[in-house]
Structure 1
């Protein structure tokens, strides 16, 4: 097998090819909306606190509802659920577009529609994460599929913000939202074209939602590798992802730029993340990824500190690239490990807690970042955040021995490792 074929081997699965092609289009619109929404908020309010509040509103429901959504994901046909979430997300983007283009949108509507997207994401994210095993049934291709999906996300992060910056400058934020709304048709079409045996409700249904929720919570808290990865990314999201909420402020006040500078910073982060995802796509399986998570966390924390201290655009762009590389190395590595270790019957609930830890903690980080930036300034806020990320990484490193013991046992059970072979 050639190096290119090995790096893209998950594409041999027809359903995954359809999904990835639809995602390529839809995600570009999504990243256009993310940049446009943050810029629109800053343009209307010029407030670091309200930037954080919009981020909080957009993800607090994801945090609160993800565990319950995970139970529904394990009970329902995941493809049907994904079609429903994509239709709802398209409606949310088109509503943003209509209000913005009409010139009547206010910060209240922005917060309300951001909260609606958070509600949608609570169901969409665990369903999408756990659906990967339906499209790619071969476990040998699972890590490659996750890495390719991450590559697609970051190609969209490269293209989307750059296009959004031009659209905002020439036509306004409303057209970014409109393009995003239409782009959801691509992923909806790809889902409908797949040939997948529907999930049987009887295979996933349990008499009590509370019992299923308790079962899922018990599994992720007792199984040390998954528990520690979730804790690490909960802290990383709380303290480290705050830089995204403050990017408009850095672009305008620290680096003295505008939408183009914001797009450049976002693009730099995506470039680094894409490099990390491509590197992970060449790996055969989850073995050795624990060390990559540690390396990615350390790089992410240091890059945050450098970005927070920088007042030079070139250095800030470089720091953002390394932030993206560190974040993606840890994110894709942890996703692959969790997807490999999690039992199929609990996958929706496990990925809902992953969503809760990684995405759901971000609103608290956004709110905290906005409040801290208002009091001590954005640069000092990122300095504090970077130190917290490094401390979390040091704790995770101290737990490596216990994690490897349990991971080895599970890998042997799955046939990934043979007994008495050294765990990576």
Structure 2
């Protein structure tokens, strides 16, 4: 670890003497502000997905159109993930997070104005959602690299578990509120609220910049972006753990996670419920995520990161199959809660495995590779939307879940390194 990082890293005992349940990772100077800024950003992220999905479904009546918007939202992860990861090695991460909030404010404000003027259509929605997707791709690499700089190696897994808890736990309120505001005032009110949240997030990002730990990356600043991209790619493909994580990530984002972008279709076409109950269903997985991520954050014993990562992935595939077969709203709600538990384990260990397998100066670029793997999701979303329109969403999701489970088994057989991945040293 570099000297500049050592001054800001926290050891196992820091903060444990505080009264009440305060995770030690939150006692690191400056990290609490980053965490609170993340609460606002993730609220906006999930809120927009639910609001836009329902709005597009009502405007067009087409599951494929909902999938097309999801494609535009996630495509920047594939197209720009590694480039933005390399950029995060040259520009202050907190500056990038601020830029993401400003772009979100502009996009959300424009969407609200278009609906007020009744000048909206599928094209403008796709364009502005694509801008939000660029922000998500940038935030993914920059935020996780910054988390790793705030904490020492022994606390990175716990900090990332807390990030996962924040991201998925905040989904509960964000999606429920999105459904409620749609029912109350339609897209104009919903996108107005989204713009307000992005504005507050921008102010929070400004506060993070003042306490961002020094990066010590002067040498990287002299290296051309294309060289940084090539180095990140070569490091990822040569590192067995990173390579295996990327393969699993591609499968999950092509065949499992696209269902999140189609929650409006599931609610309306499979369960026959309205926008308010759709919002509750979409956010129910946050409850399960809170439990598992809370355990991972507060635990005192080490965990086998690779095994937990694979268990989360396989569990998500099986639960998607159950969600596709369910016709009961209460049963689907229970499945969604269990999905959150699997997603928390998968998400926290995904980043922890990659960050622990590469050198400090390559972290942002390695996370850029993960962002590119996540960026394969647009093809899965288009596939899910097209097949949902042709054979129905239930059959489509069941088929995708079954294929995902088969491919995960094949990856484990060919890449046993994940099963042998060490614990986090706690």
TM-score using structure 1 length: 0.90
The answer to whether structure 1 residue 223 and structure 2 residue 234 are counterparts is no
SS in 2 for 1:172: helix
Residues of 2 paired with 1:4 and 1:361: CA distance?
A: 44
How do 1:23-172 and structure 2 match up within 5 A?
Answer: 23-134=38-149, 136-172=150-186
What is aligned with 2:391?
376
Query: Greater CA deviation, 98-107 or 44-53?
Result: 98-107
Whether the aligned pair in 2 keeps the contact of 1:286 and 1:340 (CA below 8 Å) is no
Q: Which position in structure 1 is the counterpart of 2:13?
A: none
Aligned-pair distance for 1:196?
2.7
Measure how far apart 1:184 and its partner are.
2.4
Aligned 8 A contact 1:143 1:286 in 2: no
- State how far apart, in whole Å, the 1-side matches of 2:225 and 2:77 are: 18
Spell out, residue by residue over 1:363-394, the C-alpha distance to the aligned partner (whole angstroms, 9 max, x if none).
Answer: 11110100111122111111111112212321
Q: 1:47-88 CA deviation, whole Å, 9 max, x = no partner?
A: 011011000011112211111112111112222222122211
Give yes or no for contact 1:7–1:282 (8 Å, CA) kept in 2: no
Q: Which residue of 2 aligns with 1:276?
A: 292
Change (3 A) 1:332 1:307: same
CA contact (8 A) 2:164 2:347 kept: no
Secondary structure, counterpart of 2:327 in structure 1: coil
Q: Partner residue of 2:283? A: 267
In the aligned structure 2, how far is the partner of 1:214 from the partner of 1:273? 35
Map 1:312-351 onto structure 2 (within 5 A): 312-351=328-367
How far has the Cα of 1:399 moved from its partner? 4.6
Number of equivalent positions:
409
Change in CA separation of 1:4 and 1:53 when aligned onto 2, cut-off 3 Å? farther
Map of 1:211 onto structure 2: 227
Q: How far did 1:266 drift?
A: 0.9
Is the CA contact (8 Å cut-off) linking 1:140 and 1:284 kept in structure 2? no
User: Which runs of 5 or more residues in structure 1 are unaligned?
Assistant: 418-423
**Would you say the 8 A contact 2:251–2:408 is kept in 1?**
no
| Matches of 2:162 and 2:336, distance apart in 1 | 21
Partners in 2 of 1:315 and 1:49 — Cα distance? 26
Does the C-alpha gap of structure 1 residues 197 and 304 become closer, same or farther in structure 2, counting only changes over 3 Å? closer
Q: 1 CA distance for matches of 2:315 and 2:145?
A: 28
Change (3 A) 1:255 1:197: closer
Partner of 2:267: 251
- 1:357 correspondence with 2:367: no
CA RMSD of aligned residues (A): 2.3
